Amino acid sequence: MQMIFSRIVPFVDAQSLASGQAREALFRDSQSGFILYLSDSASSNAQERIIRLETREALIWLNETLQDGGSFWT
């Protein structure tokens, strides 16, 4: 497994209204394709997610603008 790219996405916690940072990392696995790891461990209600992506979805994630960052959380 190889990490392709990672970034930090700023957000505001809906419950406490505190600002935080979420981490997103895209990995390429020779057997499974692409894996997107999401973590917002800085918030009071920490969440982690792992999402398998097809090549097209991975390219969309890589090319997101700053305003669209974090779109895979919903």
Instruction: Supply the pLDDT for residue 64.
Output: 79
pLDDT attached to residue 13:
67
Question: Could you say which DSSP state residue 69 is in?
Answer: T
Contacts 24+ apart (CB under 8 A), 69-74: 69/7, 69/9, 69/24, 70/9, 70/11, 70/22, 70/24, 72/24, 72/36, 72/38, 73/22, 73/38, 73/40, 73/49
Intervals of the chain under pLDDT 50: none
By C-alpha distance, which of 16, 33, 14, 36 is closest to 25? 36
> How many residues are recorded in the chain?
74
pLDDT of residue 34: 93
The pLDDT of residue 67: 57
